Amino acid sequence: MAYLFPEEDRDLYESVKEFCEKEVKEQCKEFDKTGEWPSKIYDMAMDMGLHMMEVPEAYGGLELNRTTNLALVELMAAADAGFATSFNASSLALNAILISGSEELKHRACKILEEKKFGAFALTESDAGSDAGAGKTVAVRDGDSYVLNGRKCFITNGGVAGFYVVTAMTKKGVGVSGMSAFFVEAGTPGLSTGAEENKLGIRTSNTCDVVLDNCRIPAENLIGKEGEGFKIAMKTLDHGRVLCACAAAGIIQRSIDESVAYAKERIAFGKPLIKNQALSFKIADMAIKAETSRQMAAHCAALMDRGMPYSKEAAMAKAFAADGAMFAASEAIQIFGGYGYIHEYPVEKLLRDAKIFQIYEGTCEICRMVVAGAVIGR
Amino acid sequence: MNYLVCVKQVPDDSVLVTLDADGSPDLQSIDLTVNAFDTYALEMITRVREKQGEGEITVLTVGGETAVSALRSCLSVGADKAARVWNAACEHTNAKAMSEILYQTISKQLEDGRKFDAILCGLESTDTMSGQVGARLAEKLGYALVTGAVSMEAFEDGFKVEQETENGSRVLKVERPCVITVSKPNYDPRYPTLKSKMAARKMPIEDWTLDSYQVTENAAARSFEVLPQKEGGQKIMEEDVACSVQKAIAIMVEDKVL
Ligand SMILES: Cc1cc2nc3c(=O)[nH]c(=O)nc-3n(C[C@H](O)[C@H](O)[C@H](O)COP(=O)(O)OP(=O)(O)OC[C@H]3O[C@@H](n4cnc5c(N)ncnc54)[C@H](O)[C@@H]3O)c2cc1C
């Protein structure tokens, strides 16, 4: 496996694996059906500290080795991609603050996480998805505060978060350089959430609108400086894309595990399915994609550790892994045949879950635009 | 209060064991884990300690270098201290010899001024399943013994222990010091937190090994046999449904299920 994490972290890997096997994998099937928020599972996961993996030690967190963190994200997603998504989205919000927030904001955000709450990262609006700079949410300075107005959509953890990182325009007519990012605590008057979206996949995660109606926040809740919002959001997404790649690798690995187990048992033409090279090659292709995704993500982690740029590599990893997850989940269904198409069997969910990885945190097209831009240059 | 929990590292019992060429169990490829009943014992006493708000839990194992990971695992889910015992005398022991090693080790700790209000053992280990060690240890120490505990709480100058019986349970009061063997309670042991796992790595492991042990061997395993896996259940195929139901009930009555 490409994640060469320190050997001493093996115990963490084993514990999280056991937890995901025993408490997440099967249980989430039911919540996938109902679309209900599996609060008990999240409570247990937070008791274990899965929300504190990236939080620096100085702010009460675990500050895990980056590669260990990636390996654990994959395990979580292999059990249930929605489960992993909730933590990844929280990590987006945290990282926006770690990247540019003041010391005080870092403490406040980490304190909220420590209280076993999620963070949410609110960039997208109904008319500003891929074109995030087209956002219409505004923030107006008023004495010691900012007043926010606008409506964010498709926000993961929108309805369950303890704090939000919200982008809003502080200056008109200057495009993305007019965007700023703000820290908004849940419960701030003027902040409310819309109805929960009924989704194709990752149904154990919460997605909804976040509405800002004359939402007044202290001026010190500005993250970084005015006009830095877009830059902060893009840096945050670079980081998030690496976690996305690992989560997608988790779906690929799960597709492999389910397919191998099934194809060894299922007999056709007098022999187990797995004995057909046409099918074993599908497994090989899935494995190549899983391993490549991991290596790409691990490479990003190495770049991060050295303080080197990794924007292009993160976009590559995310696009490759997301496409790989769609491929693998679809091939898993193929190996299962008709059974693969039925809810009772475990693989159709993988396809539904995989799709989101081609969409959120920069669609595969947007990731390719990032890669192309970096490769082609001006 | 001071508590001691005796734990054993065993092969993962969810894996099917096969015999190797010389007819003994092939355990090489099977992961090692803490005996399930010992994890129940540790969880039970950790809950007592949490409820009382005080107390120190030490885990003790007799085992080789690999057993360190079993102790670290215990340190991440409630134990405060850990000790290991290992020398030549500890190899190839059976229940009797093991209880002697534990007895001699614990006696030395008592001589040195330590005090254990309760010593907990799993009801049995999932590998050899003799279920003798806890009882033999209590006998040698001259301590009161309660077997098959499914819950316990501190009570007056001892403990109230709920003991599993054939058709239910009974509650016993036992004075300190005592030995309690623990069965499966109606809860599962807690998961470690990532933080407690990381902290456990740095905790010291004491060496309680004595210079020599006096052990007497008793029944030793001579040969092993792996039974073919049971076919799922019993087939009942009477003439009609009513007869099949009658037969099923008759079997269940005979087997004392009903
Ligand atoms: C379940 C879920 C969770 C989400 N969580 C969050 C969250 O936590 N925070 C948040 O801010 N957002 C979140 N999003 C929003 C998500 O990031 C956006 O949906 C995504 O960025 C795409 O934006 P859009 O939906 O507006 O699509 P559009 O931008 O309208 O894109 C439509 C299609 O056109 C393609 N396209 C657009 N522009 C180009 C171009 N220039 N060249 C080629 N192709 C192009 C896109 O790739 C896409 O295929 C979430 C979305 C979902 C569904």
Do A344 and A243 fall within a single domain? yes
B227 assigned to some structural domain: no
* Spatial distance between the Cα atoms of A330 and B87, rounded to a whole number of angstroms: 56
CATH code: domain of residue B134: 3.40.50.620
Do A288 and A350 fall within a single domain? yes
Do B257 and B197 fall within a single domain? no
The average pLDDT across A73-97 equals 98
pLDDT at residue B231 tops 70: no
The better pLDDT of the pair B168, A272 is held by A272
- What is the percentage of chain B residues whose pLDDT exceeds 90? 67
Task: State whether ipTM is beyond 0.85.
Answer: yes
Residue with tokens 């990012």: A181
**Chain A residues close to B73, C-beta within 8 Å:** 11
pLDDT at residue A87 tops 80: yes
pLDDT at residue A215 tops 70: yes
CB contact under 8 Å between B194 and A53, yes or no, is: yes
Question: Given A63, A88, A117, which residue is the final one in a domain?
Answer: A117
Do B31 and B75 fall within a single domain? yes
Q: Is A370 close to ligand 1, i.e. is its CB under 6 Å away?
A: no
The average pLDDT across A12-17 equals 97
Do B46 and B163 fall within a single domain? yes
Domain count, chain B: 2
Cβ-nearest to A48 among B72, B73, B193? B193
C-alpha B28 chain-centroid distance: 22
A298 assigned to some structural domain: yes
DSSP assignment of B90-139, as one string? GTT--HHHHHHHHHHHHHHHHHTT---SEEEEESS-TTT----HHHHHHH
pLDDT at residue A196 tops 90: yes
CB contact under 8 Å between A52 and B194, yes or no, is: yes
What tokens does B207 get? 């060496």
What residue numbers bound the domain in which B51 lies? 2-207
Q: Cα(A316) to centroid of ligand 1, in Å?
A: 17
The average pLDDT across A74-84 equals 98
The average pLDDT across A158-178 equals 97
**Chain A residues close to B76, C-beta within 8 Å:** 11
Q: Is A154 close to ligand 1, i.e. is its CB under 6 Å away?
A: yes
Q: What is the pLDDT of residue B39?
A: 97
**Chain B residues close to A53, C-beta within 8 Å:** 194
Name the CA dihedral angle for B149, B151, B155, B157, rounded to a multiple of 10 degrees.
Answer: 30
Do B94 and B61 fall within a single domain? yes
A189 assigned to some structural domain: yes
Q: What is the pLDDT of residue A315?
A: 98
pLDDT digits over B30-87, tens only? 999 999 999 999 999 999 999 999 999 999 999 999 999 999 999 999 999 999 999 9
The average pLDDT across A275-294 equals 98
Do A70 and A196 fall within a single domain? no
Backbone angles phi, psi at A367, to 5 degrees: -60, -40
Of all protein residues, whose CA lies closest to atom 50 belonging to ligand 1?
A154
**Chain B residues close to A15, C-beta within 8 Å:** 191-192, 194, 197
**Is the CB of B94 inside 8 Å of chain A's CB atoms?**
no
pLDDT at residue B89 tops 90: no
Indicate the pLDDT class of residue B237, thresholds 50, 70 and 90: confident
CB contact under 8 Å between B195 and A62, yes or no, is: yes
A259 assigned to some structural domain: yes
Cβ-nearest to A8 among B191, B195, B201? B201
Mean of the per-residue pLDDT values of chain A: 97
CATH code: domain of residue A235: 1.20.140.10
Of all protein residues, whose CA lies closest to atom 48 belonging to ligand 1?
A363
The average pLDDT across A159-170 equals 98
A361 given a catalytic annotation:
yes
Indicate the pLDDT class of residue A244, thresholds 50, 70 and 90: very high
Mean of the per-residue pLDDT values of chain B: 92
pLDDT digits over B155-165, tens only? 988 999 999 88
B221 assigned to some structural domain: no
Do A88 and A129 fall within a single domain? no
pLDDT at residue A175 tops 70: yes
Do B43 and B7 fall within a single domain? yes
Indicate the pLDDT class of residue B218, thresholds 50, 70 and 90: low
Q: Cα(A377) to centroid of ligand 1, in Å?
A: 24
Backbone angles phi, psi at B178, to 5 degrees: -150, 165
For B191, the closest chain A residue by CA position comes to A48
What residue numbers bound the domain in which A94 lies? 7-117
pLDDT at residue A353 tops 70: yes
Name the CA dihedral angle for B224, B227, B229, B235, rounded to a multiple of 10 degrees.
Answer: -160
pLDDT at residue B92 tops 80: no
Do B91 and B168 fall within a single domain? yes
Helices (H), chain B: 36-52, 67-75, 95-111, 133-141, 194-202, 241-254
B213 assigned to some structural domain: no
Domain count, chain A: 3
Do B199 and B241 fall within a single domain? no
